[in-house]
Structure 1
Amino acid sequence: MEKVSTAAFLFSVVAIAALTIVVVDSEATMVEQTFVVHEMNVTHLCNTTRIFVVNGQFPGPTVDVTEGDTVVVHVINRLPHGLTIHWHGVRQMRSCWADGAGFITECPIAPGSNHTYRFNVTDQVGTLWWHAHVTCLRSTINGAFIIRPRDGKYPFPTPTKDVPIIIGEWWELDLIELDRRMVDGNFDDNPLSATINGKLGDLSNCSGTVEESFILDNVNSGEIYLLRLINTALFSEYYFKVAGHTFTVVAADANYLTPYNTDIVSISPGETIDVLMAADAPPGHYHMVALANQPPPPDLQIPQLTSLGLLRYTAAVDTNTVPTMPIMPSQHNTMPSYYFHANLTGLARRHRVPRHVDERLLITLGLGSICRNTTGRCKRGRSPETVVVATMNNVSFAHPNATSLLERYYGGNLEGVYTEDFPVRPPRVFNFTDRSLIPPGPEEAALEPTAKATRLRRFRYNSSVEIVFQSTTLLQSDSNPMHLHGYDVFVLAQGLGNFNPRRDVSKFNYYNPQLRNTVQVPRGGWAAVRFLADNPGMWYLHCHFEFHIIMGMATAFIVEDGPTPETSLPPPPPEFKRCGANGLKQP
């Protein structure tokens, strides 16, 4: 493997980045970038770790476009592993081939190979992001994807400056090895720290050497800052605060919201939240804090993950003043997350909630187990005879590792690859949020046995789909950030406990619900969503906690073609590489 930490390589990366092309004519704009994916050594906490990055950056380069643009990104893979790049939240209308979901829409880009992604950004404005979508590589291969309004106007005060705030995690464990361990049902490994824009913050230190913090510098009183928050973490939802300041939440997942005032943001993996922050505090230095939350015992515990950043006013007089620290919730208090997400509503727009429902699904989210042997009989209760898996309706998704589901679907060659019988309801009804199902305890053993299969669901074009996601306490009580590729969904309601249609349907918000691509299903609760299946293709649905994805909390939705060429998925574009040409198995 060629070393990349040399001056020559850095020069080449700069040269490649300089090749970004913007072509403008009377009808369209094309934004073109090149991503070189490579290894790089980084030292934190007294240890040098090999990480995977794009163009020598962690986080990676920002893709900054205007609504209506055509985006072209050339990916050059210099890793010893395959990968894809997913454009998280981009609707990909009739461009499913460019979605970048590994083994769902394409096989990974082979080591030493390259691939071009080409797609339009239509009817979306705000903050999204991009990330690797094979194994755990998205921990360091990620970056902001910003879509600006074509007329330059926002439905809120125009900010003086906008700043991406990318919350992530720092891992010393090799990410490929982390993936292998989670496939085997082991989720005992933990990151060492949270990060803000790649910085660990001065809470972390080693041998007296304090880690660097992200600094938002030269802040001027009276200015308004648009903070574009993105959670790229593999494991945790985060609380975010800036001491002495409040926020107005104005958008999420590239959809405008009714302005909502708060002093805390709760953001789950996959989510993006846009907030306005007025620089109205006395000039000084203020800490920003990202704190991971987690369920209390008896759930398995991870170390407290916190990263500190710093906001500094230009007019601050005393540079030696200790920065003010915000008061944070307990890491085990998940109610601020519940109330934050429940208080968000959409800004009035032309999209209407489908009132007629063609397809209804109740999907339970939890853990289960499969036997290591082939008999189907084994001792449960986290015994060595079983592998812990994640499930949706008691099905743990068997990820393909040598073929693309979209390619097989489009070519009509489905035999032995997948079935279209993903269940529309759980196989048995129980008290889904009974905390006695969290080990140690005997009640969960009878509910653990789980099917492992590649089971999908097919929808007719333009059918209206309603899904109620129900978090469970089976073997754990995590929340679940559910991400659907290719779609924004209306979040009609959420609640705690078990969903009860006779009681809870009356709470549905048909007037101004949020439109989201990642829906936070609360711990011990539920969320109801609805969408119109108007984008043909193969679309991955999964929890955005990485250990839940790898362990099987996923499926894919097939949306059939409509009656016209304009409502159908076009053939693969010229740049699409079929799996036979670059096919490799998942590392």
Structure 2
Amino acid sequence: MKMWLGKKIIFLQTLLCFSIVGTNSHGLKEYHFVLKEAHYRRLCSSKPILTVNGQFPGPTVRAYYGETIYVNVHNKGKYNITLHWHGVKQPRNPWSDGPEYITQCPIKPGGKFRQMLIFSIEEGTIWWHAHSDWARATVHGAIYIYPRKGESYPFPTPDEEVPIVLGEWWKSDVSDVYEEFLRNGGSPNESDAITINGQPGDLYPCSKSETFKLNVHYGKTYHLRMVNAAMNLVLFFAVSKHNLTVVGVDSAYSKPLTRDYICIAPGQTADVLLHANQEPNDYYMAARAYSSALGVAFNNGITTARIHYHENHAPNKSPSLPYLPLYNDTKAVFDYYVSIKGLNEADPYQVPTNITTHMLTTLSINTFPCPENQTCAGPNGTRLASSVNNISFENPTIDILEAYYYHIKGVYHKGLPKFPPLKFDFNAEYLPLELQIPKKGTKVAVIKFGSTVELVFQGTNLVTGIDHPMHLHGTSFFAVGYGFGNFDKHKDRKTYNLIDPPLMNTILVPKNGWASIRYRASNPGVWFVHCHLDRHLSWGMETVFIVTNGEGDAEILPPPPDMPQC
């Protein structure tokens, strides 16, 4: 574990302004951030939305490598809330990780919770977001983690950094969208717009005057700190007539990769360099969805923002759109992902080769029979569900971390299968209907501290095949392989990249394919594992890994005194 460089105090509360109040009695900087329902009139609607500091996206958190900060969360909204610091490893400190009923009970309206964020190996861009129901649709923001003071980036220092937060927008209240699809058992209504920094862009007339604009100077380099905060959309992103150079993913630097487009899944982040080297003019940056599933509705619109060169030029009222791959271009997606290579010399540890814990988990869309005297909107009158190794996860009423730490029985059950309990051709075109119904339960996997883990995520074609962005809390992992069809341990391991795989925290599993990761289980605690398509998470595509304690300074820290109560 790296040495801490200092501490900073950040306050998240539900006010409608932003202010810096200086330092406290210990000389620690304090920020006041804001979180409650606020009218956000810049969008195509004046409805109130849940915000932090009245901002959408929310404020940016800035820290240095190895720093520790505190966040005081005050919930003055009308719903329960939790906040997750996505990609922050939180060594020995799962208490501040944030997922509801996994590591904490929710912060009730009027309540507060002081969270400690321990940065360790992260460097680059990650993000924070709500982790309760669908509140993260509007409650999210970027985290910038700079190199140690006095150290530099492993690439030429950019002239300016710019947040590019991609999201989705519903005209109706997102909590109503969430409650409706859970009630009827079908799919949620698709979003009304995709957004860049909170705006749908010029193609939406109501947003035209507020479209995000990046003003650039010819010859300068701009560091795009990118976040995909969309609820259910993998996105292509490009800038007209400009190449993009990816230099980091998920807060770990990578070898420079120059492309005319990138792909970014929900939960993922990227550090991207934009060189302003084209004829001075106005250019569009744009994003659109990638969606591989048959018969699944999605928002196929395009969101735009403008790049405006300061140098004199005749204003271009209608810039051309950049090339973006077709919505179903799976080859374009994985050509991009397999091209990302890690910086081995910057990795905190080597790719594990002597694996002690093997796991293979199937990721499936499922159905449950419709209860009597109800009408359900799933296929053939069923209720849609999802599962990990045929277990559709049920949240407990007491958080699992508390139950584990205090030895409270009956809250969860050990024994999540480490291999698929049902053996079949996972990606056959036609599969028996009886395979669609999963079991329900709060099953967890227990992993011994210090284990070297190989985890293969295997997609299935039950109900429909689709890609799954899988996120592990509490660790980063090496993305060592991707493939299509059923994983073959004898053949497919020969294709692994064990030399320079990227270090990530969220990996996109191909439709009817697999993705393989490796990591060392060196962070004791209770850690959530889930799909970052929120409809799949809501249906049960989630589980928990409990990493046991090591000895001495490899044990879970004690809980803070103000943990929210259930």
Q: TM-score range by the shorter chain?
A: over 0.9
CA deviation string 1:443-501 (max 9, x = no partner)? 44121111011000001111111110011221122211100000001111111222111
Which residue in the other structure is 2:389 paired with?
393
SS of the aligned residue for 1:341 comes to: helix
Q: Secondary structure at the match of 1:447?
A: helix
Q: 1:304 aligns to what?
A: 300
Aligned match of 1:213: 211
CA deviation after TM superposition for structure 1 residue 119, in Å:
2.4
Alpha carbons 1:200, 1:212 under 8 Å: kept = no
Match for residue 405 of structure 1 among 400, 404, 415: 400
Provide the secondary structure at the position in 2 that maps to 1:288: strand
Q: Conserved in 2, the CA contact under 8 Å of 1:470 and 1:525?
A: yes
1: CA distance, partners of 2:499 / 2:166 = 32
Paired residue secondary structure (1:498): coil
Instruction: Please give the root-mean-square deviation of Cα atoms over the aligned residues, in Å.
Output: 2.3
Offset at 1:49? 2.3
Distance (Å, rounded) in 2 between the aligned partners of 1:329 and 1:444: 34
Equivalent of 2:237 in 216, 240, 252: 240
| 2:257 counterpart (243, 257, 260) | 260
Work out whether 1:558 is the aligned partner of 2:552: no
Deviations 1:91-126 (A, max 9, x none): 100111111111111011110111111122122210
* Deviation for aligned residue 1:325: 2.0
Q: Deviations over 1:184-235 (max 9, x none)?
A: 43214111000000011011135xx746311001x11111111111000001
Give the conservation status (yes or no) of the 8 Å contact 1:380–1:445: no
8 Å contact from structure 2 (residues 15, 54) kept in 1? no
Structure 1 pair 516–242 and aligned structure 2 pair: CA distance change class (3 A): same
The 2-side partners of 1:281 and 1:326 are apart by 14
CA distance in 1, matches of 2:398, 2:508: 30
In the aligned structure 1, how far is the partner of 2:64 from the partner of 2:341? 25
Which residue of structure 1 lines up, in the alignment, with residue 171 of structure 2? 172
User: What is the Cα deviation at residue 34 of structure 1?
Assistant: 3.3
Equivalent residues in 2 for 1:563-578 (5 A)? Answer: 563-564=551-552, 566-577=553-564
Cα distance change on mapping 1:178 and 1:321 into 2, 3 Å: closer
Give the aligned partner of residue 5 of structure 1.
none
Q: Secondary structure at the match of 2:198?
A: coil
Aligned-partner Cα distance in 1 for 2:498–2:416: 28
Aligned position for 2:147: 149
Contact 1:22/1:32 (<8 A) preserved: yes
Partner of 1:470: 458
Correspondence for 2:283: 286
Deviations 1:530-562 (A, max 9, x none): 111110110000000000111000000001100
> In 1, are the aligned partners of 2:393 and 2:443 still within 8 Å (CA)?
yes
Shift, 1:11, TM fit: 12
The answer to which of 458-467 and 470-479 deviates more is: 470-479
Q: Secondary structure of the equivalent of 1:40?
A: strand
How far did residue 364 of structure 1 move? 0.9
Task: Supply the AA of the counterpart residue of 2:538.
Answer: I
User: Deviations for 1:27-52, whole angstroms, at most 9, x for unmatched residues?
Assistant: xxx55433332112235786432211
**Equivalent residue in structure 1 for 2:269, among 272, 283, 287:** 272
Q: 1:119 to 1:42 in 2, by over 3 A?
A: closer
Aligned twin of 2:199: 199
Partner SS for 1:310: strand
Residues in 1 aligned to 2:497 and 2:72: alpha-carbon distance in whole angstroms: 42
- Cα shift readout 1:69-102 (whole Å, capped 9, x = no counterpart): 2211111111110111100000100111111111
Paired letter, 2:467: S
Seen in structure 2, the aligned counterparts of structure 1 residues 369 and 212 have a Cα distance that, compared at 3 Å, is same
Match of 1:160 in 2: 159
Alpha-carbon contact 1:483-1:541 (below 8 Å) kept: yes
Query: Would the aligned equivalents of 1:539 and 1:558 in 2 still touch at CA under 8 Å?
Result: yes
* Match of residue 545 from structure 1: 533
Quote the residue 1:440 is aligned against: none
- The 1-side partners of 2:395 and 2:326 are apart by 36
Secondary structure, counterpart of 1:33 in structure 2:
strand
- 1:216-262: CA deviation from partner (whole Å, max 9, x where unpaired): 01x11111111111000001000000001101111000001111111
Structural mapping, 1:364-443, within 5 Å = 364-373=362-371, 382-384=379-381, 386-400=382-396, 402-415=397-410, 417-434=411-428, 436-437=429-430, 443=431
What is the Cα deviation at residue 22 of structure 1? 8.5
Cα distance in 1 for residues equivalent to 2:69 and 2:34: 17
1:335: Cα distance to partner? 2.0
**Structure 2 Cα separation of the partners of residues 547 and 221 of structure 1:** 43
Query: 2:288 touches 2:302 (CA, 8 Å); kept in 1?
Result: yes
Q: Which residue of 1 aligns with 2:226?
A: 229
Q: Distance in 1 between matches of 2:449 and 2:88?
A: 19
> 1:19 aligns to what SS in structure 2?
strand
Tell me how far apart the structure 2 counterparts of residues 332 and 511 of structure 1 sit (CA, whole Å).
Answer: 30
Equivalent AA in structure 2 for residue 155 of structure 1:
P
Number of the residue aligned with 2:328: 332
The CA distance in 1 between the partners of 2:435 and 2:243, in whole Å, is: 45
Q: Is the aligned partner of 1:138 residue 2:136?
A: yes
Distance in 1, Cα, partners of 2:250 & 2:272: 12
Q: What is the rounded CA distance, in whole Å, between the counterparts of 1:221 and 1:558 in structure 2?
A: 51
| Amino acid in the other structure paired with 1:408 | A
Larger displacement relative to structure 2 (163-172 or 302-311): 302-311
* Counterpart amino acid of residue 447 in structure 1: L
Aligned amino acid, residue 60 of structure 1: G
> Identity percentage over the alignment?
36
Stretches of structure 2 that go unaligned for 5 or more consecutive residues are 1-12
Distance in 2 of aligned mates of 1:287 and 1:98: 39
The answer for the alignment partner of 1:481 in structure 2 is 469
User: What's the secondary structure of 2:380's corresponding residue?
Assistant: coil
C-alpha distance in structure 2 between counterparts of 1:445 and 1:258, whole Å: 45
Distance 2:204 2:432 in 1: 39
SS at match of 1:178: helix
C-alpha separation in 2, matches of 1:45 and 1:408:
43
- Offset of residue 381 of structure 1: 8.0
Tell me the matched-pair count. Answer: 549
SS of equivalent residue, structure 2 residue 384:
strand
What TM-score, normalized by structure 2, do the two folds share?
0.92
Which residue of 2 is the match for residue 3 of structure 1? none
Which residue of the other structure, out of 523, 536, 545, is the alignment partner of 2:524? Answer: 536
Alignment correspondent of 1:114: 112
Shift of 1:340: 0.8
Amino acid at match of 2:199: K
Q: TM-score, normalised by structure 1?
A: 0.89
Residue 58 of structure 2 is matched in structure 1 by 60
